[in-house]
Structure 1
Amino acid sequence: MNNYTNDNTARRYKAHVSILGTTQLHLRNPYIIAWWSAAFPGFGHMLLSKYLRGYALFIWEVIVNLKAHVNSAMIYSFQGNIDMAKEVLNTRWLLMYIPVYLFGIWDSYRTTVDMNRVYILAEREDHRFNSYVMGALEINYLDKRNPVVAVMWSMFIPGLGQLYIHRILTAIFLIVWLVVFHYQSHFAEGILLLILGKVKEATSALKPEYLLFMPSLFGFAAYDAYVNTIENNKLFERDLRNHLTKNYQSVGFKILKGQKVK
């Protein structure tokens, strides 16, 4: 496959391959992106490859959530202890938490709608983009991957599925925060005590305010790996088809009503 560089000769590119990953435009459902932002601020933007904004919202969520005791209040609410949920909340931090939380949902929805429009324009322009890059630290290229394998590795350890499809920035971010949540929640200690049959000790050892972050992290890692594997496969097939058409297909080749005419 020829190596094209995104040298700004086109107004819009559909994709860009770098040593840190493959970034591409494709149609997304804005409601799904907004839902992921509601599940955990920052996830919606990370699905859009808006990494800096996504990381900022993610870190904000973790810090302010812990300071406002939002997760602790949720746990008491699940248990039906509404009075304790109200008492544990820190309203000084909560008043800062709510506007940013709502902004993350709104901005991810708005950005998705805008990026869908940009994708349609880039699709019409259909300019070639680079499909292979080699650097001192990494090699990245368009290739086909198995989405089921990506999901499987993500369910073992969030971030491994992203490493499989070469989404390096997202992979590192997920792995680092998994370590933080895993350690702070005493998850391994709780599992060990549970295996030993010490249910009460396991329950008391766990830190639920950190543990409640982990389901969202696992779910996002699996979804992100699955969707991006499928979209990368589509991008590879389209790029290969364009390359073969341009370099090997006869100029006089036509298809009329399902029949080839030369």
Structure 2
Amino acid sequence: MKNIFNNQRRQKAAISAFSINALHLRNPWVAAWWSAAFPGFGHMFIGNYIKGYIFTIWEFYVNINSNLNTAIIYSFTGHFDKAKAVLDTRWLLLYTAVYVYAIWDSYRSTVDLNKLAALADKNHPHISPFAINSFEINYLDKRNPWVAAVWSAFTPGLGTLYSLRTITGFYALSLWIITAYFSHIFQAIYYTAIGAFEQAAAAADPEWLLFMPSIYCYGIYGSYVHTVEYNKLFKLEQSRFLKESYQNRDFDMPV
């Protein structure tokens, strides 16, 4: 069976002990939008995880050094002079080119991967439903996408772990923990709950807080979409196995 998978010209999916990745049709504008919301998320959405990890780390590092989020907050509140004063143009000019590239590359890559997905479907590729090594077990099965979304709504990253992407799940969980810690969001929520609104406003760090909507929303959306697609992959593998292993019910039995 191993030779069958290795000899395929275009694989439909790859399953390892730590993750699942698959070719399927995606909207390139959705990928571009997520890259615009947070560079790296568009690439993670289409399965280019290494690029996605690097772009998200780059976003944190360069954004914070350029004080971009702080400038955005000043701009939203009408303090344009403060926004200009706080920006570090050395980092900002470096930020712009890579930001635009992340959007363009995620769109372009999605278009190319859609073509490959269509070709892979026509070749009727074999799909390995199970992977195991000394550290982990991973397998295709049917899961509820709403369960993935709910777990991500509680804490981004948990829904990704539920959808069988261990490395990406812990990476997303780490992003959320780091951002929540430095933004002091839970302190602000606590003060808000007891009615201490001035203390809540003073506790929150707006620069880090501005990262959180994109991370939170992508965690829910990404875990839901990937679970839906993995369910389709599970059905495809099952149907192909049944067709190859069992006789057609319309077969004429010999007399």
TM-score, L = length of structure 1: 0.92
| Residue in 2 that maps onto 1:217 | 215
Does residue 236 of the first structure (1) align with residue 234 of the second (2)? yes
Shift of 1:45: 0.5
Aligned amino acid, residue 230 of structure 2: N
CA contact (8 A) 2:153 2:216 kept: yes
**Number of positions where the alignment pairs a residue of Structure 1 with one of Structure 2:** 252
Shift of 1:241: 0.9
| Residue in 2 that maps onto 1:122 | 120
| Residue in 2 that maps onto 1:156 | 154
- Residues 213-248 of structure 1: per-residue CA shift (max 9 Å, x gap): 111111111111111111011111111111111111
CA contact (8 A) 1:42 1:104 kept: yes
Select the residue among 96, 101, 104 that pairs with 1:103: 101
Change (3 A) 1:241 1:211: same
Aligned mates of 2:57, 2:218 — CA distance in 1 = 16
Structure 1 segments of 4 or more deviating over 2 A? 3-7, 249-254
Select the residue among 13, 25, 28 that pairs with 2:26: 28
Aligned amino acid, residue 124 of structure 2: D
Residue 100 of structure 2: SS of its match in structure 1?
helix
Residue 54 of structure 2: SS of its match in structure 1?
helix
| Residue in 2 that maps onto 1:258 | none
| Residue in 2 that maps onto 1:205 | 203
Aligned mates of 1:186, 1:5 — CA distance in 2 = 52
Aligned mates of 2:127, 2:5 — CA distance in 1 = 9
Shift of 1:129: 2.1
CA contact (8 A) 2:5 2:126 kept: no
Residue 126 of structure 2: SS of its match in structure 1?
coil
Shift of 1:251: 7.5
Shift of 1:249: 2.9
| Residue in 2 that maps onto 1:64 | 62
Residue 250 of structure 1: SS of its match in structure 2?
coil
**Structure 1: which 5+ residue stretches go unaligned?**
255-262
Does residue 93 of the first structure (1) align with residue 91 of the second (2)? yes
Aligned mates of 1:92, 1:58 — CA distance in 2 = 20
CA contact (8 A) 1:16 1:131 kept: no
Residue 167 of structure 2: SS of its match in structure 1?
helix
Change (3 A) 1:7 1:240: closer
Residue 19 of structure 1: SS of its match in structure 2?
coil
User: C-alpha root-mean-square deviation of aligned residues, in Å?
Assistant: 1.6
Residue identity (%): 46
Change (3 A) 1:71 1:166: same
**Structure 2: which 5+ residue stretches go unaligned?**
none
Residue 13 of structure 1: SS of its match in structure 2?
coil
Shift of 1:128: 0.6
Shift of 1:52: 1.2
- Residues 12-45 of structure 1: per-residue CA shift (max 9 Å, x gap): 1100111111110000110110000000000011
